[in-house]
Amino acid sequence: MTSTSSDILGLFFAVCGLMFTLTLFGEVLSARGGEDNPVVETFKTRLRSWWGMVILFTLALIAGKVGIIVLFAFASFAALREFLTLTNKRQADHLALALGFFVVLPLQYLFVGLDWQALYTVFIPVYAFLMLPVVSALRGNSDRFLIRVAETQWALMIAVFCMSHVPALLMIDVAGYPADRGVLLIAFLVMVVQFGDLLDFFFGRRIGKTRIIPNLSAKTWEGMACGVASAAIIGGLLAWMTPFGIGGAVAMAALASTAGMFGNLVFAAIKADRGVKDWSHLIPGQGGFTDQLDSVIFAAPIFYHVTHLIWG
């Protein structure tokens, strides 16, 4: 067993232990009369879907590079479907949208898999950005044209481009950091962002007072500060997974968590605009894939590029 796979296994057991503790904690809260408490219920349903995520994610980590890329390609597909269900479109966009699903999305993940960095960092922001509106325009319906193409591009940027920067972390080349440890860097990003969110939720309910955007999101400044601080501490503890060193890992965790939390607010604004509470129903009791991954989606490209800038 290589040191990377034993680290993955160790990490899996540590996460399982932690999740088990949290599950027990949730059960204790319910047993102590919190059964009808919606906060406890939310906490427990979230934990349940996280168990699913942990298991899927670990399987993908074990399968290696291809497993991770396929997993995130499917997550992109689900998120793109949720996003485009809510956007403005006309029949004239049909071909452009079909190209988005069945050509742009698979190509983006293929480019990531082949490590063609010069292509996967510009394919959607340049080529898809210019070409898909051409396909729509050729069909000749100009009704709300700018809104239609802009919303389609936004969907592709978020659901495909940003999301694909998570598996793109596999390809980062840092001196002195073995190439096969890229999977651990992904685990680091996902964990600090998700635990930051969980602790933001927890502290927000406990001590949160000042809502960041009243009427839009339950997020509070107090909860966010505690969440980011917790993410930074967790990042420090997980520094061995990264090439950053302890100080660097703390800073990167705080950066990713902050980006993720503001991303969550952006998504809350989009949902409010479209008059929906959740992106979809695909994860039972949890809403959609986009609800579950919004902060990771927002954090991934920033995390990727800052890593490149400083350590690459």
* Site residues (vs other proteins, CB under 8 A): 77, 81-82, 84-86, 88-89, 91, 94-95, 97-98, 101-102, 144, 274-275, 280-282
Q: Given the complex with other proteins, which of 102 and 116 has the nearer CB atom?
A: 102
Nearer to other proteins, 89 or 219 (CB): 89
Minimum gap (Å) between residue 284 Cβ and other proteins = 11
Q: Closer CB to other proteins, residue 144 or residue 305? A: 144
Residue 161: CB minimum distance to other proteins, A: 18
Minimal distance, residue 101 CB to other proteins, in Å:
6
Long-range contacts of 105-112 (CB under 8 A, 24+ apart): 105/73, 105/76, 105/77, 105/80, 105/160, 106/73, 108/76, 108/160, 108/161, 108/164, 109/69, 109/70, 109/72, 109/73, 109/76, 109/164, 109/167, 112/69, 112/164, 112/167, 112/168, 112/170, 112/171
Give kind and range of the element (H or E) at residue 262.
Answer: helix 245-274
Q: DSSP states of 203-250 as a string?
A: HHHHH--SBSSTTT---BHHHHHHHHHHHHHHHHHTGGGSSSHHHHHH
Query: Residue 78: helix, strand or coil by DSSP?
Result: helix
Any idea what DSSP says for residue 181?
A: G
Nearer to other proteins, 41 or 278 (CB): 278
Largest CA distance in the chain: 63
User: Count of residues for the chain?
Assistant: 312
Which residue's CB is nearer to other proteins, number 280 or number 295? Answer: 280
Residue 295 CB, shortest distance to other proteins, in Å, is 22
Q: How far is the CB of 107 from other proteins (least distance, A)?
A: 16
Q: Cβ 222 to other proteins, closest distance in Å?
A: 34
Of the candidates 102, 244, 115, the one whose C-alpha atom is nearest the C-alpha of residue 185 is 244
Compare residues 91 and 215 and give the one whose CB is closer to other proteins: 91
CB of 306 to other proteins, least distance (A): 34
Burial letters for 54-92: b for 16+ Cβ neighbours within 10 Å, e otherwise?
beebbebbeebbebbbebbbebbbbbbbbbbebbebeeb
Q: Residues 6 or more apart from 199 whose CB is under 8 A from it?
A: 226, 227, 230, 231
Give the shortest CB-290-to-other proteins separation in angstroms.
Answer: 12
Residue with smaller CB distance to other proteins, 56 or 229: 56
Q: Which is nearer to other proteins, 97 or 226 (CB)?
A: 97
Least distance from C-beta 96 to other proteins, angstroms? 10
Of 200, 294, 198, 306, nearest to 252 (Cα)?
A: 306
CB closer to other proteins, 32 vs 94: 94
